[in-house]
Structure 1
Amino acid sequence: MLNRVGRRLRRLIQRPASAELTRYEALLPAIGRREAELEKLSDTELTEAAAAMRERDPVDQEWLAELCALGREATRRALGERAFDVQLLGTMGLLTGHVVQMATGEGKTLSGALAAAGYALQGKRVHVISVNDYLARRDAEWMRPVYDLLGVGVGWVEPSLTTEDRRAAYHSEVCYGAVSEVGFDVLRDRLVTRPEDLVQPEPEVAIVDEADSVLVDEARVPLVMAGSVDAGMADEEVANIVRRLRHGLHYETDPDGRNAWLTAAGASVVEKSLGGIDLYDESGSARLAAVNIALHAHALLTRDVDYLVRDGKVQLINASRGRVAELQRWPDGLQAAVEAKEQLPPSDHGEILDSITVQALIARYPQVAGMTGTAAAVAEQLREFYQLEVAVIPPNTPTIRTDHRDRIFASPSQKLRAIVEEIRTVHESGRPILVGTQDVAESEELADKLAKADLPCVVLNARNDAEEAAIIAEAGTYDRITVSTQMAGRGTDIRLGGADGADHERVAGLGGLHVIGTARYPSSRLDDQLRGRAGRQGDPGSSVFFASLNDELVLSHAPDVPEDIEADPETGEVTDAAAQRQINHAQRVAEGVDLEIHRNTWRYTRLIERQRAELLRHRDAVLRSELARERLAEAEPDRCAELAEKLDEATLTQVCREIVLFHLDQLWADHLAFLAEVRETIHLRALAREAPLDEFHRAAIPEFHKIVGEAEQRSAKTLLEAEVTESGVDLAAAGVRRPTSTWTYLVHDNPFDSDAEQALKKVRSMLRKKRS
């Protein structure tokens, strides 16, 4: 009773993870009572009972109970597993539009499948959005027998599918797909010129797997459609000059590693190397921009931390997962600068035809729900950006994992020695050990130290990410040491005793999996994800994080460490509670910085998305109706009448449509380029004490309102100039030619902001004073 009252009070004061579960829990007895009856039905009768749900009121609580009862029986028959009560609570939470938090190994995939089937039985089309293509296909194939018994069609999309297969998958009642693949298809649909070429139907329901990763970590990552291929160009001369510059003498960086700028000595060296130009004069502005971006690539992006060089290409590393970020790149100028830094050939780039952020992609869906193991820590962001509440589902079996207090050391080297000793001590008992490192370089350094200490380990990082599932599946094997980046934080379950669980009892008797973190992550969620690899479904396990007062997290976000904190003179270990408070504070600051970046990005993106939505409504009207022909007939009646004599109705309508859509799409691409330029230079408005966001709106809104009118004027001109032959109208000769090839990619968040430009502005002022 007291527990129930406590939950209600928490809900009333709107604390994170406060969604009320009582009304769902009250349905569990009724669901249980239906089991014996449903077991007597044949498969056909079970499918018919599910079909009858399509005619009932889905708002009814009895409907929820019946859906869960049918889902449990379908699961038992199809998979040989009886859904736990907590899995059904997760299903009900998803069906009522929550982000449900379920611990590792508690069966989120099944809860998501039953919820997707429930939405489908309500007559809604569902997209189950995953973090990658592998999981999308795996889950769709794994859950297909359950969907079949419930009479629900399921498909999935992946890069290898043809357009026809994609269209069929999206028109299934339930479609699984990676967030990037779903987003790319949205962008591709925005370029079609015939309604029948559209692949996706109107969005209705999204169930987001790993919701915190998709909705928060990747929310502001733009998905991009580009065309008109050419090679990215970096200034090779500048790259060679910057490569010789020295930190502290020729350039400085700020403590959080987001900005770099030339010193007076550095500017002098660069100017002499470039033939005596003045970087800070208008004549040198182009070279200054090249120097600035090359300096950022040289000073602030680190190989094997921010990116890998593999197969002759720069491959970005996703910081929150530790994996190679497939199809991801930095904005073209920075991408080219890093390639020049590594002396690699430039990759292709071209005009951006359209783009959409992950947050805007999810916002297209009228109904959104999600599931993850770590949602409570981002409940504020989920509420603020998506109006979603978190429902924390209790584990089926209580967690008995032991989470030890952090072990803190004065320096990283002392910490590393202690980590190796911890691994040696635990390894002697035969317990499996999983070590989570911060990046590729650290994982390989630790593996080298362990090899020298005669402690063989398996390394998992972005270099061998193709082996991820196999390595993680065996991380619970007796006597196994696995060293991994954050990619071990979620995904494949770690079963004690190995993938087959054959040695489960032996490993459990030793204490289960021991998880070691080599440093606290910038987010408490990432810490919790790593800890959560141990203690699966009531298994024993333990975790401990090692930290240093000179870790990157502390140096970047809380460098003012109290001077009276003392360390053990021999080991360097710090036991003063103030050290723990300092590290916790640094993590909170890092989380706050990330949240503010998200907010600031969305302030700008929100206007762009409103403009995109408005333009797309007009584009859709042009695509699906005779609007283009009507408008051109008003502008050029004589020309339209002339063409009507030579072309049939359908052909003339399509010609007008293609002309108008071409100009609409071209003007939108130009508008995006204009907005990018405004955004990049907006800091100059701040120096003039003007609000940057207000100035952005002031520049963006009038330009947007010109697009439709300008498109109609250009279309009328094209119609006049187009040549008509017996075979039709030669649009290409009139300049109406779409890109010969297009491609898609994700733009990694630019790791720097315009503060760097402000810093260079200050240096420019300083140098001018010096020269005067």
Structure 2
Amino acid sequence: MSSSGALTRSVRRFLGRPGTVAPTGLRPLVRRAGERESALRRLSDAELRAAADALRIRAGGTQGSAARGTGKSAAAHGTSWDEEALVELCALGREAGRRALGERAFDVQLLGMLSLLRGTVVEMATGEGKTLVGALAAAGFALQGRRVHVLSVNDYLARRDAEWMRPVYELLGVRVAYVTQEATRTQRQTAYAEDVVHVAVSEVGFDTLRDRLRTEVAELVLPAPDVAIVDEADAVMIDEARIPLVLAGGVAAGSDEAEAARLVADLVEGVHYEAESDGMSVHLTDAGVSEMERAFGVDNLYARDMGERLSQVNVALYARALLRRDVDYLVREGRIRLVDANRGRLAQRQRWPDGLHAAVEAKEGLTAGPRGEVLDQLIVQDLIGSYPTVAGMTGTAVIVSEQLREFYRLETGDLPTNMPCVRVDEPDRLYDSEQSRDAALLDLVQRAHASGRPILVGTRDVAKSEEIGAAIRESGLDCAILNARDDTREAAIIAEAGALGAITVSTQMAGRGTDIRLGGRDGADHEQVAELGGLLVVGVGRYHTRRLDDQLRGRAGRQGDPGTSVFLTSLDDDSITRYAIDPPPRAARVEADGRIRDAAVRRYVEQAQRVAEGALLDTHRTTWRYNQQLHHQREEILDHRHDILHGDAAAEILAELRPERWAELESAVGESVLAEAARQLLLYDLDRAWSDHLARTADLREGIHLRALARQNPIDAFHAETQRAFASLLPTAHEAAAAHLDTAHITKSGLDKEQSDVTRPSSTWTYMVDDQPFESLRDPFLTTIGKRLRSATTGEN
């Protein structure tokens, strides 16, 4: 860290600003752990495990202490350790890592472990060994009798880390498992019963959603949430927090979206519609409105009864004009696959809302995929918030420290690197156009490659990575391309990116999970590559947040290795044209190759990135604010559902609502059979009522922005109407269950669900719904519809 950076952190700590938690009081513990090292090395594996068991007993922890499936947050198990126990934990963890992996934990790794045990989000640079830190902290919590979920960004990392760290866990007497999307319910139950589970955050979220709809206690797979250690914490807790997780039941697909897409396909840009230069919004012109009215055979597209049609047209127009193939999505095996903008890879089980997704399918001429009736949904923020203890680690936490404090009440601190970072981060090289920028990039790659220096070129999207890769190959050089089109060879490509003469072109590097070692996987040419200056990282345009820039930079200079990073940007980069507030200032001088060195123009580029970061924060806040009331309502429903599933609430409610029918059935089938039938009836109608409530609130949110025309705050209006709708939910569900009881087919064998008309969807499916594109429709949509509404009222043309 530079001296100016250290001074800034010191001032921030003095002021109590986020991102400044120091490992106060922890360094002496680590030093004392070092004094135990020689004694522990003399122990056998069995003796080492016995020492860990003694530590477990000392902490009051017992294996398997968290009960499964209560549906409520668990109280913290175990007790806080004293300093002696923490010293012993550090020493045992270091020795376990040395024996199992041949990796002796650095002092800073032990500081990281202790910081995680404090419930802190720690920033550790790439290559500093976060995986071992997370495993040692997870083992520490487990030895206290806590049940730990290590949450990652994808299945690959969950499986890899659990298998990689398993020998460490076993030496410490801790049981570990992992869960991926292929796991069966029985496999999930078994895995979640272990002390530590490595699992993708989306997968544990989907298991939470499925458990919320279980009708038998024995079918529950999740224990009550206890400890979450979040790997790549900024990606999971900030980026993923904007994307709700959804559980849906299949329903028949409609054809309205396909018709709207077909009609929109005939519209001409500049005549029938106009797209804003920032690429964020598009709207019909007057000619376009007239054309749509003619096509639908109506007089006024903005009439009250045309709301659904108007929404379909706007969504189809958005899909056609603003969503770009090979940038925002790929077409693979006849399906639309979204590209994760933060990682440049295919987003697993992710889709846009049904209308937009169907519009893109129609745009590409694909058969419409399954449509879903939303049964329940969950945002990552609420999932993480359900754990009594949360800690995290990432290479870029301090930048989002204020958000982590605002949304999760978590403090953030950065740890020093084990070896001083000597990477050289050059100032951006700014060019007047994308063409001149790319020409300079190719020249830079050719000159660096001539010396044998390995090069990593980072791009924002699939299309750009393939364009640059093709240009490099056309120049006579070979390169590896890593993007969403072929991410199956990811680990192998990254492992060799530091080899002598290697050229790698990749989309975003965040969460790749593999270090780039100088000299390649085996480090054979490490010294030669180091003498050439180490890995050269070249960013093609700034990302929408400095975090992603820093994550790319951090691929060079690991563990004291030399390295260089530089970003080549241009004034027509997407991140600038979308978010810059004003036109760029006139450059005092543009060099022959298109390079601009003007300080004012450079500040303009940096301002655009700050605006982008602000827009993302606003999106996060908006998602959170819209969800808050639904979250509290869902908690009320879950409490009631828990009482029904685990107790006699259903029998009490239905016996009171239908006393005569209850007495009749009780004498015919017996008390226990009737109580179970009542449970199934009330669970069905309660879940049905909640699904209907979600559908109503989704429709409400989709049009709530129109309240701004009446000078109402849309979020306040949404909350008010949502609360009114929820007020009658429980009485309605109870009465619906009572009505079902009147006609239910119940025998001594139990409830016949089909004859009683309480069958659930034959199949359910899960996905993450990226609903933010609709946000960008709203401002221009308000302008257009406001004008149309005024015309309808005044008779103006």
TM-score (norm 1): 0.97
Check whether the contact 1:353–1:669 (CA below 8 A) recurs between aligned residues.
Answer: yes
Cα distance change, pair 39–687 in 1 and its aligned pair in 2 (3 A): same
- Counterpart residue identity of residue 22, structure 1: T
Tell me how far 1:277 sits from its aligned partner: 4.6
Q: Indicate which of 130, 133, 142 corresponds to 1:111.
A: 133
> For residues 699-736 of structure 1, what are the alpha-carbon distances to aligned partners after superposition, in whole Å with 9 as ceiling and x for unaligned?
11122121221111111111111123453332322211
Check whether the contact 1:137–1:156 (CA below 8 A) recurs between aligned residues.
Answer: yes
- SS of the aligned residue for 1:425 comes to helix
Does residue 187 of structure 2 align to residue 181 of structure 1? no
Q: Distance in 1 between matches of 2:646 and 2:474?
A: 68
Alignment correspondent of 1:757: 781
Tell me how far 1:8 sits from its aligned partner: 6.0
- Counterpart residue identity of residue 553, structure 2: R
Question: Aligned-pair RMSD on alpha carbons?
Answer: 2.0
Check whether the contact 2:453–2:500 (CA below 8 A) recurs between aligned residues.
Answer: yes
Q: Distance in 2 between matches of 1:261 and 1:608?
A: 31
Tell me how far 1:236 sits from its aligned partner: 2.9
Check whether the contact 2:585–2:600 (CA below 8 A) recurs between aligned residues.
Answer: no
- SS of the aligned residue for 1:258 comes to coil
- Counterpart residue identity of residue 367, structure 1: T
Does residue 708 of structure 2 align to residue 706 of structure 1? no
Alignment of 1:160-175 (within 5 A): 160-175=182-197
Q: Distance in 2 between matches of 1:176 and 1:249?
A: 54
Q: Distance in 1 between matches of 2:334 and 2:88?
A: 56
Alignment correspondent of 1:642: 664
Alignment correspondent of 2:52: 50
Does residue 393 of structure 2 align to residue 368 of structure 1? no
Q: Distance in 2 between matches of 1:68 and 1:731?
A: 56
- Counterpart residue identity of residue 761, structure 1: I
Alignment correspondent of 1:237: 259
> For residues 649-697 of structure 1, what are the alpha-carbon distances to aligned partners after superposition, in whole Å with 9 as ceiling and x for unaligned?
4322211100010010000001111111111111122211112222112
Alignment correspondent of 1:584: 606
Alignment correspondent of 2:71: none
Tell me how far 1:472 sits from its aligned partner: 1.0
Alignment correspondent of 2:494: 472
- SS of the aligned residue for 2:126 comes to coil
Check whether the contact 2:431–2:594 (CA below 8 A) recurs between aligned residues.
Answer: yes
Alignment correspondent of 2:738: 716
- SS of the aligned residue for 1:379 comes to helix
Tell me how far 1:228 sits from its aligned partner: 3.3
Out of 555-564 and 332-341, give the one that drifted further.
Answer: 555-564
- Counterpart residue identity of residue 47, structure 2: E
Q: Indicate which of 29, 32, 42 corresponds to 1:30.
A: 32
- Counterpart residue identity of residue 93, structure 1: S
Cα distance change, pair 485–2 in 1 and its aligned pair in 2 (3 A): closer
Tell me how far 1:765 sits from its aligned partner: 4.6
Alignment correspondent of 1:192: 214
Does residue 441 of structure 2 align to residue 412 of structure 1? no
Alignment correspondent of 2:17: 15
Tell me how far 1:740 sits from its aligned partner: 1.0
Check whether the contact 2:465–2:481 (CA below 8 A) recurs between aligned residues.
Answer: yes
Out of 499-508 and 1-10, give the one that drifted further.
Answer: 1-10
Q: Distance in 1 between matches of 2:720 and 2:438?
A: 53
- Counterpart residue identity of residue 112, structure 1: G
Q: Indicate which of 569, 572, 575 corresponds to 2:594.
A: 572
> For residues 739-769 of structure 1, what are the alpha-carbon distances to aligned partners after superposition, in whole Å with 9 as ceiling and x for unaligned?
1111111101331313243133145257657
- SS of the aligned residue for 2:457 comes to strand
Cα distance change, pair 283–679 in 1 and its aligned pair in 2 (3 A): closer
Q: Distance in 1 between matches of 2:438 and 2:99?
A: 51
- Counterpart residue identity of residue 30, structure 1: R
Q: Indicate which of 235, 249, 254 corresponds to 1:227.
A: 249
> For residues 148-179 of structure 1, what are the alpha-carbon distances to aligned partners after superposition, in whole Å with 9 as ceiling and x for unaligned?
11111111111222211101111111111001
Q: Distance in 2 between matches of 1:441 and 1:771?
A: 46
Q: Which runs of 5+ in 1 are unaligned?
A: none
Alignment correspondent of 1:682: 704
Cα distance change, pair 210–612 in 1 and its aligned pair in 2 (3 A): same
Alignment correspondent of 2:88: 66
Alignment correspondent of 1:392: 414
Alignment correspondent of 2:376: 354
- SS of the aligned residue for 2:451 comes to coil
- SS of the aligned residue for 2:488 comes to helix
Alignment correspondent of 2:70: none
> For residues 510-534 of structure 1, what are the alpha-carbon distances to aligned partners after superposition, in whole Å with 9 as ceiling and x for unaligned?
1111010110111000000000111
Q: Distance in 1 between matches of 2:80 and 2:92?
A: 14
Q: Indicate which of 137, 155, 174 corresponds to 1:133.
A: 155
Q: Distance in 1 between matches of 2:558 and 2:48?
A: 33
- SS of the aligned residue for 2:249 comes to strand
- SS of the aligned residue for 2:378 comes to strand
Out of 220-229 and 320-329, give the one that drifted further.
Answer: 220-229
- Counterpart residue identity of residue 99, structure 2: R
Q: Indicate which of 626, 635, 654 corresponds to 2:648.
A: 626
Out of 357-366 and 695-704, give the one that drifted further.
Answer: 695-704
Cα distance change, pair 58–724 in 1 and its aligned pair in 2 (3 A): closer
- Counterpart residue identity of residue 19, structure 1: V
Cα distance change, pair 763–490 in 1 and its aligned pair in 2 (3 A): farther
- SS of the aligned residue for 1:51 comes to helix
Q: Distance in 1 between matches of 2:584 and 2:648?
A: 72
Number of aligned residues: 772
Q: Which runs of 5+ in 2 are unaligned?
A: 60-78
Does residue 263 of structure 2 align to residue 263 of structure 1? no
Q: Distance in 1 between matches of 2:665 and 2:685?
A: 20
Q: Distance in 2 between matches of 1:83 and 1:235?
A: 56
- SS of the aligned residue for 1:752 comes to helix
- Counterpart residue identity of residue 184, structure 1: F
Tell me how far 1:580 sits from its aligned partner: 1.4
- SS of the aligned residue for 1:218 comes to helix
Does residue 767 of structure 2 align to residue 745 of structure 1? yes
Does residue 257 of structure 2 align to residue 253 of structure 1? no
Cα distance change, pair 567–251 in 1 and its aligned pair in 2 (3 A): farther
Cα distance change, pair 763–448 in 1 and its aligned pair in 2 (3 A): farther
Alignment correspondent of 2:74: none
Q: Indicate which of 423, 429, 433 corresponds to 2:455.
A: 433
Cα distance change, pair 243–655 in 1 and its aligned pair in 2 (3 A): same
Q: Indicate which of 20, 38, 42 corresponds to 1:40.
A: 42
Alignment of 1:298-697 (within 5 A): 298-487=320-509, 490-558=512-580, 560-697=582-719
> For residues 49-87 of structure 1, what are the alpha-carbon distances to aligned partners after superposition, in whole Å with 9 as ceiling and x for unaligned?
111222235342222221111111111111121110010
Q: Percent identity?
A: 54
Q: Distance in 2 between matches of 1:2 and 1:547?
A: 26
Tell me how far 1:22 sits from its aligned partner: 2.8
Q: Distance in 2 between matches of 1:2 and 1:160?
A: 49
Alignment correspondent of 1:206: 228
Check whether the contact 1:227–1:739 (CA below 8 A) recurs between aligned residues.
Answer: yes
Tell me how far 1:473 sits from its aligned partner: 1.1
Tell me how far 1:771 sits from its aligned partner: 5.5
Q: Distance in 2 between matches of 1:720 and 1:586?
A: 64
Out of 42-51 and 369-378, give the one that drifted further.
Answer: 42-51
Cα distance change, pair 398–652 in 1 and its aligned pair in 2 (3 A): same
Out of 364-373 and 491-500, give the one that drifted further.
Answer: 491-500
- SS of the aligned residue for 1:137 comes to helix
- SS of the aligned residue for 1:316 comes to strand
- Counterpart residue identity of residue 630, structure 1: E
- Counterpart residue identity of residue 108, structure 1: K
Check whether the contact 1:226–1:744 (CA below 8 A) recurs between aligned residues.
Answer: yes
Alignment correspondent of 1:84: 106
Q: Distance in 2 between matches of 1:581 and 1:17?
A: 25
Q: Distance in 2 between matches of 1:483 and 1:52?
A: 50
